[in-house]
Amino acid sequence: MKVSVVVKPGAKFEKVEETMDGELKVWLKEPAKDGLANHRLVKLLADYYDVRRSDVRIKLGLTSKKKLIEVDK
C-alpha cells in the first residue's frame, strides 16, 4: 500500500491524522536533522499500521516534508 504523507517535524506533540483524501498528516517531536525525523516517522507509522518497522519504507521525499510511504501488510 502506498500512502502520501505530510510531515511536520519539531512539533510539541506526536500525532497521526488522516485527511479526507486519504493523505496522512504526521506531527513529530524530532527535528528534520540528520534523519531523526525520518527514523521516528517510520517507527510511528509502523505502530499506526501495526506492522514491523522493516515493512515501512520511504519511497520518495527523504529530504522533503511531503513523502510517499510504502507499507507492506
Which DSSP string corresponds to 12-34? SS-EEEE-TTS-EEEE-SS-SST
Amino acid at residue number 55: D
| CB contact at 8 A, 56 and 69 | yes
Cα–Cα distance, 11 to 72 (Å, whole number): 27
What pLDDT does residue 9 have? Answer: 96
Helix or strand (DSSP H, E) at 37:
helix 36-49
Query: What's the length of the chain?
Result: 73
Per-residue pLDDT of the chain (73 residues; tens, 9 = 90+): 999 999 999 999 999 999 999 999 999 999 999 999 999 999 999 999 999 999 999 999 999 999 999 999 8
Domains of the chain: 2-71 (3.30.1200.10)
The pLDDT assigned to 73 comes to 82
